[in-house]
């Protein structure tokens, strides 16, 4: 990890993303997905909702960094509620 100058939190972040993708792959094999229409008006699957959650969480964290001087863990809490909303209603 020295050649990329990674820190342990960065490695943990990407590890969690990898574990999430593996989990969603196993879920897709064990429990086939059925697309559904949510508030966006488009069909989304579990994987689509995961992508929307990850993309939105990235923007939430960037906005948090740019506009607030509060600790970054606050953005994590906002992202958690955002993820729950996406998986529930999108």
Q: What is the mean pLDDT of residues 7-30?
A: 90
What integer pLDDT is reported at residue 2 of this predicted model?
Answer: 63
Give the domain extent around 66.
2-89
Q: How confident is the model at residue 84 (pLDDT cuts 50, 70, 90)?
A: very high
What integer pLDDT is reported at residue 61 of this predicted model?
Answer: 93
Q: Using CA atoms, how far apart are residues 26 and 78, in angstroms rounded to an integer? A: 27
Q: How confident is the model at residue 30 (pLDDT cuts 50, 70, 90)?
A: very high
Q: What is the mean pLDDT of residues 68-85?
A: 93
Tell the burial category of 86 from Cβ atoms under 10 Å away from its Cβ (0-12, 13-18, 19+). buried
């Amino acid at each position: 990890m020295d050649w990329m100058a990674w820190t342990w939190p960065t490695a943990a972040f990407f590890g969690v993303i990898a574990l999430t993708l593996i989990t969603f792959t196993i879920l897709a094999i064990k429990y086939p997905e059925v697309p559904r229409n949510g508030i966006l008006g488009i069909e989304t699957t579990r994987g689509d909702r995961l992508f929307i959650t990850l993309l939105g969480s990235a923007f939430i964290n960037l906005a948090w960094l740019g506009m607030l001087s509060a600790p970054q863990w606050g953005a994590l809490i906002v992202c958690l509620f955002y993820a729950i909303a996406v998986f529930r209603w999108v």
